[in-house]
Amino acid sequence: MSLKIAIRRASVQDVPVLWSMTNALGKTQDSDYFDQCLELQSQGKREVLILRAGDDDAGYGILNWVPKYALFKKLGMPEIQDLNIIPSYRRNGLASALIAYCENLARDKGYTDMGIGFGLHSSYGAAQRLYIKLGYVPDGQGVTYDRKQIAFGDFKPVDDDLCLMLMKPLTV
C-alpha cells in the first residue's frame, strides 16, 4: 500500500486528535499529558508532531530538545519520544518517515546526534528492530528506568519506563 504521508506540528486544536490516536493505540496517559507537551512546545522545548497517511491521522511523536535523560542532556542531543503509529497503518514506513523528519529537524538546528529509546517488553519488539535498522546503537550506559540508570542488583518493574537508550550520529 502506497500512502501519501504528511507530517505537521500539532497545535492546541489537535488535542482531541491526539487523544483519539492514543485511545486507538490502547494507551493510557495522564489527563493533561498533551496539554503539557504543547505547553513545552510553546516554550521551544519540544515538537509535537502528527503524521497523516492519506486522509487519516495515523500516528504522532515528540521531538524533545531538552531531554530528561542525563547522558543526552550532557551531550546536548535531542531525543525522539513517544513515537506511535496506529496499528492498522504499521509496516508502511510511517515510523521511519517520522523518525527521518525528526532527524532532519535536528540537523536543520545544527545537532549532530539524535537519541531515542525503547521499552524492554515484547510490545516494543517492532521498535527495537526498527531503531537498530535505522542506525541507532545502544549508548553503552545500560538499562534505564524513568530515564535514570539502574544500578546492578536493582529491581524494577518491566513496564513502559524500563528502557534501553540509543543514539545515532546525524551525518549525511
Q: Which of 66, 102, 56 is nearest to 83 (CA)?
A: 102
The gap from C-alpha 89 to its chain's centroid, in whole angstroms, comes to 17
For the chain, give the mean pLDDT: 91
| pLDDT above 90 for 125 | no
Task: Give the count of domains, the chain.
Answer: 1
Find the domain containing 122 and state its range: 5-169
Query: For the chain, what percentages of helix, strand and coil (3-state, to nearest 5) are there?
Result: 35, 30, 35
Q: Kindly give the residue spans of alpha helices, DSSP state H, lying in the chain.
A: 15-24, 33-42, 70-75, 94-108, 125-133
CA dist 131 and 78 (Å) reads: 15
CA dist 24 and 86 (Å) reads: 7
pTM of the shown model:
0.91
Grid cell for residue 24: 486507538
> What's the pLDDT tens digit per position in 6-64?
999 999 999 999 998 888 887 776 778 899 999 999 999 999 999 999 888 999 999 99
User: What CATH number did the domain enclosing 137 receive?
Assistant: 3.40.630.30
